[in-house]
A and B are shown apart, each in its own frame.
Chain A
Amino acid sequence: MAAPTTQDLGRAYENVRAALNAPNPNLGAIKPQLSQLKVGLVQLAMQDGAVERDREYLALKRSIAELGAELSIKAGETEAFERYLAQLEPFYFGGRMGLDESKVMYPLIGLNLLRMLSENLIADFHTMLERIDLKQLQTNPFIVHPVRLERALMEGSYKKVWQARSEVPTPEYVFFMDILMSTIRAEVASCVEKSYSGLPFDDAKSVLFFSELGDLLKFAQERQWTVSPAEKRITFQTAAENPRTFQGESIMGQVLTYARELERIV
């Protein structure tokens, strides 16, 4: 099979892009087309090494990776999204491989930030923030959204996080927001267990962001809370550990360490 030229690939890319932008894209059909595009890229590079420095080729490479990232979000494939973002990294930071700023750059970075939040990769999140231009960090809506979310999460203002769900800059964000919500619910549940002795059903529903009583009861069952339907209340066991319990093992360990160290000194 003769390898395509950059222009051929560019046309093929436009077709796939149009298919993805259609109101109801057929994701299953687009995937093999995308793989073909990627094969085409590799063929081009193998045929002629110099093409790796060609701006047109690089721009196409970036667009195809961006397409892949968007597709994987639509298909709900987090791991694939992560891989595409790793491929895009040299295009987004540092010298940008001599290309202009991509239009979808900040939305995609924002999505990646959100992904890190939803997977609780806070250290990676902050490392990424350091690489983003400060001005963008403070003004770009795609970046500001995840940054605000993180701040609210750290403080514990879960209500704000919940509200942020309706303020997403692009519909793609909802995908990760939904993952984030279940993380938050678990987080809130662990706080509630420790800080309340009991909660009526109605209050529990609002605190845990449930709209249906059934969901709440199911959730309560999963976390093994005591539910009393007569009183319409959930009670939490205060698993107060006795501070006076003798921690023999740890004390023994400590004393043995001292003995060993002293032995070395004397």
Chain B
Amino acid sequence: MSSKEAASKEAEAPMEVEASPEQKQAETRRILLEDITRSIGFLQRGITAAETHYIYRALRTLSSLRKRLQPEVLAEAVAARSAAENAPATRDCLATMVALLKQKPAGSPKAGACEPEVCLFLGLLSMLYLLDSGSREAGAELADVLLGVASASQRRTVDPIASRIYFYYARFFELAGRLADARPALLGALQAATLTGMKETKTMVLTLLLRNYLHYNLYDQAERLTAKTGFPAEAPSNLLARYLYYLGFIEAVQLNYSQAQAHLLEATRKAPSNAATAGFQQAAHKIYVIVELLMGNIPERSLFRAPTLRKPLAPYLELARAVRIGDLTKFQDVVDRHEAKFLADNVLVLVQRLRHNVIKAGIRSINVAYSRISLRDICLKLHLDSEEDAEYIVAKAIRDGVIDATIDHEKGFVQSAEVHNVYGTSDPQYAFDKRTGFCLGLYNDSVKAMRYPGGNHRKELAYAIEAIKRERELAHELENEEYDDESDEDAMDEDL
């Protein structure tokens, strides 16, 4: 019986007799058990067909199952799978599961065999229950046992489930505040996954490791890890987005701003934009805004208006304003006021680097406004400490190509160079080239990203064969000259 029927029965129930709370409870339990059994059915189909496609179908039910999990039902589902002929590792794992769920082990006379996939799936459900009910210790213990089962199996069908097991494994350690202890297991898993070609597990473990390193500010190790490992190209886009975000963060810390900007932008684009991913979008955009500012660009105003971003990005908007105007006092004021916030977002050090961008912006606007200005006035306008400082700063700005001017040291003023026609230089050419390159890259990427469902060409082939057959028949009929007008018309119709 499917859950639909069960649901309709439940709806009917109040009409006949008022169902007691116990009855209702028993009903929901039964539905839950059925749903779990159905998911396991998908898993088994996936295993026999060696198709991950069915496994994903089972995994998709996770979020709906998660909300209704009950330890008794889980234990029942586990009991139904605890056959005596199971592999010892699996048997132990199932036994631990029941023990950690604080249920009595119940033998079932007609218990079926348990494949590693099914065992891991049940384990995943138990872990989710433990996570939601706050039993972290038990959860961590279970994660440890499940890891053993996951790493023992090398089947392709285990891959998607195992990757989720690793995710929650790391999550339990993070909640317990000892993320560093998860590292050896994750590194081992990365090695195993790379060797056996488990792509999804590999991508998941890579992102988990990066998160792990960044949690302890180990940017060096994280950078080396990304340099030494390749990220599988066919990774799911949510994992890719996460990976790109971490990559962008590392590069931002190491002053590789242009790369960081590209990666962060891609991360925000790749991540699905719905309510569930709002947190990720906010985190990614925060760093993105700072990297843009560090590069000397001002992020678009519309970015700060997006409904999910407006509130969390408010301090960043003020920051962007201060940098745009080039007002050092205002900038310092914003930094001081929102220091706790920037600290919580782990970007305070990046924000403090913005100081010289503020100065640069200030110098640029002065250079545009005045054709000749004394160093003393610059010093006053930018709130610098001394005229000598101002002189060096302006000199550096000239060398770095921020402004085009000359300094007269004896008379103490800065003379802006005449603005020459931009269209006389090769600047437009470069800008044009950059945009063309972007468009071509976009085209190539979208071609690569297209999916061609397998076996589609066969349908066309069958159609073509049929058409040839028909044509032959027609030709045959023509040859025999045994057709009347009617059949001719039919043939014409068919041809059309």
> Any chain B CB within 8 A of the CB of A123?
yes
Contact A258 B349 (CB under 8 A): no
> Any chain B CB within 8 A of the CB of A96?
no
How distant is the Cα of A254 from the Cα of B219 in the complex, in angstroms?
Answer: 37
Contact A192 B253 (CB under 8 A): no
Chain A window 240-261, contacts with chain B (Cβ cutoff 8 Å), 1 for yes, 0 for no: 0001100100010010011001
Contact A200 B398 (CB under 8 A): no
Which chain A residues lie closer than 8 Å to B218 at the CB level? Answer: 131
Cross-interface CB contact of B429 among A159, A251, A257, cutoff 8 Å:
A251
How distant is the Cα of A160 from the Cα of B389 in the complex, in angstroms?
Answer: 8
Q: Select the stretch in B133-141, B142-150, B157-165, B406-414 that faces chain A.
A: B406-414
How distant is the Cα of A97 from the Cα of B223 in the complex, in angstroms?
Answer: 24
Which chain B residues lie closer than 8 Å to A157 at the CB level? Answer: 384-385, 389, 392-393
How distant is the Cα of A122 from the Cα of B353 in the complex, in angstroms?
Answer: 12
How distant is the Cα of A94 from the Cα of B386 in the complex, in angstroms?
Answer: 41
Number of A-B contacts (CB under 8 A): 108
How distant is the Cα of A197 from the Cα of B410 in the complex, in angstroms?
Answer: 11
Contact A155 B395 (CB under 8 A): no
Chain A window 133-150, contacts with chain B (Cβ cutoff 8 Å), 1 for yes, 0 for no: 010000000000000000
> Any chain A CB within 8 A of the CB of B388?
yes
Which chain B residues lie closer than 8 Å to A265 at the CB level? Answer: 443
Contact A195 B385 (CB under 8 A): no
Band of interface residues on A? 35 or more
Contact B254 A127 (CB under 8 A): yes
How distant is the Cα of A251 from the Cα of B180 in the complex, in angstroms?
Answer: 52
Contact B426 A247 (CB under 8 A): yes
> Any chain A CB within 8 A of the CB of B216?
yes
> Any chain B CB within 8 A of the CB of A156?
yes
Contact B440 A94 (CB under 8 A): no
Q: Chain B residue with minimal CB distance to A187?
A: B396
Which chain A residues lie closer than 8 Å to B405 at the CB level? Answer: 195
> Any chain A CB within 8 A of the CB of B458?
no
Contact B440 A261 (CB under 8 A): yes
Which chain B residues lie closer than 8 Å to A94 at the CB level? Answer: 180, 216
How distant is the Cα of A247 from the Cα of B425 in the complex, in angstroms?
Answer: 10
Contact B429 A156 (CB under 8 A): no
Chain A window 186-216, contacts with chain B (Cβ cutoff 8 Å), 1 for yes, 0 for no: 0010111111110110010001000000000
> Any chain B CB within 8 A of the CB of A232?
no
Can you list 10 A-B pairs, Cβ within 8 angstroms, ordered by A? A95-B180, A127-B219, A130-B217, A151-B356, A154-B353, A156-B356, A195-B394, A196-B406, A197-B408, A203-B409
